[in-house]
Amino acid sequence: MAPPRKAAAARPVSRSQRPTGVEVGLVALLFLAVSLAAFALDFPPLIPAPEAFRARRERFLAKLPPHSIAILRSAPERLMSNDTDYLYRPDSDFYYLTGIEEPDTTAVLRNDPADGKRYLLFVRPRDPRRESYEGSRPGPQGAPAQYGSDAAFADSELANRLASWDPVSYRFSGYLAEAERLYLWDGNDGAWAEKFRKTYQGVRDRDAGPAEAVDARDVIHEMRVVKDEEEIRFLRRAAQVSARGHVLAMRAAAPGKWEFEVQQALDGYCSANGARRMAYPSIVGSGPNSTFLHWDKNNRQIQAGDVIVNDSGAEYGYYATDITRTYPASGHFSPEQRAIYEIVLDAQTQAMSLVKPGVRHEEIEQKSARVQTDGLIHLGLLSGDVERLLKEKTYRKFTLHGVSHWVGLDVHDKGKYEIAGASRVLEAGMVFTIEPGIYIPANTAGVDPKWWNIGVRIEDTILVTKDAMECLSCAAPREIEEVEKTVGRK
């Protein structure tokens, strides 16, 4: 950086040059207006619809055989350091069926209960002291009204209500004793899982209750592949907020700035519009860091001529989005950067053009691989027969990763990509990424140094519609001219 210029000697200001009270007031109002605009809420908060969770529970129970019980646990709180926890996030599968954001909660679902109570909750009891720190809890008394359950109890009552042994009749009673099939997910709460194991083993030792525990996630994950309208509402919002943030990040990028400054322009905007967290650690890689897929240190000072890869997406209402944009720090791509960018953009555009119901998921990968391989051959970075290169996946020397994954409550969402050994057929309501990329680190063997330190990835979150597709995140600039114009607009 150039040394600072020597300050000019101060000169007295004449009375006529001094601002009047009116002028000072106008400046203050202007400053206030700019400040308010900077913190304006562009996207009013979305509130989850309770009926959506109720509908999912009913669909889930309908998929289970008669006389089934499902027991699902919320995620535990996680220690970050000393006595400070991470910001709490419920387990995705638990949240998908319940909409509950509270730890130490167990949901019990039964598809044909004798008492007619299909949805039961076991929650933390009221605790005035803890609530004075954390805010009020519904407790067992308030949980049915707040969460839509048929009944609710203190979490400490779970074991006895699942199974109670009568020494007179030598029989078990309780929810487990009445069921023939158990679907279980412990929410990765190891302590709770061990307590439940002892309860369940005590029932099985007397040859009572379901003979085995089946992983409830197998059913839930298949449900999560096709999104309902409520999920799409939140996925669309996550993409909208993130795309707007990417525009601000582009405008913040410049030689001399730090990667974390570009990150904050995006992350801060998402936070200011209702995103409690990002869907994954934001990636801002400049220059040599652009060639690392998951660079998240974001601690390098950006240099003139760098290309920047920004892979960032907000989590909104627990729904993720996944967006990557690549742009030149100086406002214009070099000829080499532009050539690589054109290949990646063409691969994404052609892959997008295939998306519609009935197309197999693998066709997206295949189209992108072919376009990128053809482009790399044209630039002299690969040589040989394109069919052989595709068969041997030689293109992976530069492309490194697959081109698509599901998106939903997790950024790499749950769900199978193959059914009965064949690539899955796309259906309306599926949401996934299309994210081709080419990465050429410094000192890549056999590659002219003019190509070194160029990483390009373009990624968008795509919704399959009834007839074709909707790009949820394409409000963030992708075309070269638009990208350069946005970066240059300071």
Q: Is 459 a catalytic residue?
A: yes
Q: Is 259 a catalytic residue?
A: no
Please count the residues of the chain: 490
Is the pLDDT at 11 greater than 60? The verdict is no
Out of 322, 365, 410, 484, pick the active-site residue.
322
Q: Is 346 a catalytic residue?
A: no
pLDDT for the residue 489: 81
Side-chain half-sphere exposure of 139, counting CA atoms within 13 A: 9
Print the SS3 string covering the chain.
Answer: CCCCCCCCCCCCCCHHHCCCHHHHHHHHHHHHHHHHHHCCCCCCCCCCCHHHHHHHHHHHHHCCCCCEEEEEECCCCCEEECCEECCCCCCHHHHHHHCCCCCCCEEEEECCCCCCCCEEEEECCCCHHHHHHHCCCCHHHHHHHHHCCCEEEEHHHHHHHHCEEECCCCEEECHHHHCCEEEEECCCCHHHHHHHHHHHHHHHCCCCCCCCEEECHHHHHHHHHECCHHHHHHHHHHHHHHHHHHHHHHHHCCCCCEHHHHHHHHHHHHHHCCCCEECCCCEEEEHHHHHCCCCCCCCCECCCCCEEEEECCEEECCEECCCEEEEECCCCCCHHHHHHHHHHHHHHHHHHHHCCCCCEHHHHHHHHHHHHHHHHHHCCCCCCCHHHHHHCCCCHHHHCCCCCCECCCCCCCCCCCEECCEECECCCCEEEEECCEEEECCCCCCCCHHHCCEEEECEEEEEECCCCEEECCCCCCCCHHHHHHHHHCC
Report the pLDDT averaged over residues 324-342: 98
Side-chain half-sphere exposure of 74, counting CA atoms within 13 A: 22
Q: Is 378 a catalytic residue?
A: no
Per-residue pLDDT band for 16 (boundaries 50, 70, 90) equals very low
Out of 230, 259, 315, 435, pick the active-site residue.
435
Out of 294, 388, 467, 481, pick the active-site residue.
294
Report the pLDDT averaged over residues 305-327: 98
pLDDT for the residue 172: 85
Is the pLDDT at 28 greater than 90? The verdict is no
Q: Is 412 a catalytic residue?
A: yes
pLDDT for the residue 165: 82
Q: Is 294 a catalytic residue?
A: yes
Report the pLDDT averaged over residues 456-478: 98
Indicate yes or no: pTM above 0.75. Answer: yes
- Distance separating alpha carbons of residues 390 and 370, to the nearest angstrom: 7
Q: Is 341 a catalytic residue?
A: no
Is the pLDDT at 153 greater than 80? The verdict is yes
pLDDT for the residue 396: 96
CB 405, CB 321: distance < 8 Å? no
pLDDT for the residue 490: 58
Among 33-37, 352-356, 388-392, which stretch is predicted with the lowest mean pLDDT? 33-37
Residue-wise pLDDT tens digits, 234-272:
999 999 999 999 999 999 999 999 999 999 999 999 999
Among 298-312, 344-358, 476-490, which stretch is predicted with the lowest mean pLDDT? 476-490
Per-residue pLDDT band for 23 (boundaries 50, 70, 90) equals very low
Residue-wise pLDDT tens digits, 441-461:
999 999 999 999 999 999 999
Q: Is 439 a catalytic residue?
A: yes
Q: Is 405 a catalytic residue?
A: yes
Residue-wise pLDDT tens digits, 39-83:
569 999 999 999 999 999 999 999 999 999 999 999 999 999 999
